[in-house]
Structure 1
């Protein structure tokens, strides 16, 4: 389930949504690295800055999902998506997978906006990725046949490690991680009960 055996071109064809999302991550990162743009231009235009959201820049509830600060940030989130996303994109189909990813990320960003001070700002796909983890947990909780015993042995430790890192690493949007996880779990639980 989590082992990739496809070639690069096969991956692009089989998982178009993940391919597009990772491409957006990389393009925005590369743009932010170009000397023709001020260093923080992408961040200033697309980050989830609560003050600007309050002033009507509602797109900042969506765009932070695709923006990252630094190479390690974009690499880690893109790698997580490539590793844990394909099974869900295949299982749900591209439209439901897109909805799960975006709803989890946007919900995490809305709660971040509502719970953090106006001076707070954030970027990163972690809320959406934790939404995928939440969906997997819901499949485990509802004993959905989609999650095998072997898959359960992989996903549970990853989620636990992710939660530990959420509370022990600096600069983490704890709210986004937790509420992305909750959103994904609720979506998965409702789907699993059906």
Structure 2
């Protein structure tokens, strides 16, 4: 069976959901770093603070996906997401990418909430990014195109190994985001 490879061009990048997600994250990062805005208040109202989630502030499971602690955190998430987000969007659809990204981030944060102490605080899109990687991984495995996944697969494995040994990394969101993304990839009908 011959399977055509999805292609990217400038026009597809302009309308790409992956690119728009990254642009929105960049704007959120600027809002938190430029001193003209109420940075601390924005962080306090959007971060995944488990004590506040337990008190009913469930929106934090979503809003924390757009907040990053520093530029290297944003950059690492963005570059990984750019690779897997563009792959998933090209192979599936914009709506599938958005669904996988948002649901993976929320599910990963929810599982993290249930297994860590109420004093736990975290931010970032790692659960959503790993979910996107999991969906690509499972989708290609399901379609028996795993041989074309060698570089992305190595990047996921490398990311898991690196984050397991880094301080201040939320390995729970990485694991649960990836697992939920795999569920989404396996459930895909395309």
Counterpart in the other structure of 1:62: 62
Residues 100 and 187 of structure 1 are in contact (CA less than 8 Å); yes or no, is this contact kept in structure 2? Answer: yes
**How large is the RMSD of aligned CA atoms in angstroms?**
2.3
Q: What do the CA deviations read for 1:43-71 (whole angstroms, capped 9, x no partner)?
A: 21111000111111110010111110111
Residues 47 and 64 of structure 2 are in contact (CA less than 8 Å); yes or no, is this contact kept in structure 1? Answer: yes
Residues 21 and 66 of structure 1 are in contact (CA less than 8 Å); yes or no, is this contact kept in structure 2? Answer: no
Aligned residue pair count: 187
Q: What do the CA deviations read for 1:70-118 (whole angstroms, capped 9, x no partner)?
A: 1111111112222221121122211121111111111000001111111
Residues 77 and 125 of structure 1 are in contact (CA less than 8 Å); yes or no, is this contact kept in structure 2? Answer: yes
Structure 1: gaps (5+ residues): none
Deviates more, 1:132-141 or 1:153-162: 132-141
Residue 85 of structure 2 aligns to a residue whose secondary structure is: helix
Counterpart in the other structure of 2:187: 190
Q: What do the CA deviations read for 1:1-33 (whole angstroms, capped 9, x no partner)?
A: 99x9644x65122x1x11221111111111111
- In the superposition, the TM-score normalised over structure 1's length comes to 0.87
Counterpart in the other structure of 2:13: 11
Residues 49 and 60 of structure 2 are in contact (CA less than 8 Å); yes or no, is this contact kept in structure 1? Answer: yes
- In the superposition, the TM-score normalised over structure 2's length comes to 0.89
Counterpart in the other structure of 1:106: 106
Deviates more, 1:106-115 or 1:151-160: 151-160
Residues 101 and 132 of structure 2 are in contact (CA less than 8 Å); yes or no, is this contact kept in structure 1? Answer: yes
Runs in 1 of length 4+ with deviation above 6 angstroms?
Answer: none
Deviation at residue 37 of structure 1 after TM alignment: 3.0
Counterpart in the other structure of 1:155: 152
Counterpart in the other structure of 1:94: 94
Residue 59 of structure 2 aligns to a residue whose secondary structure is: helix
Question: Within 1, Cα distance between the matches of 2:42 and 2:165?
Answer: 28
Counterpart in the other structure of 1:117: 117
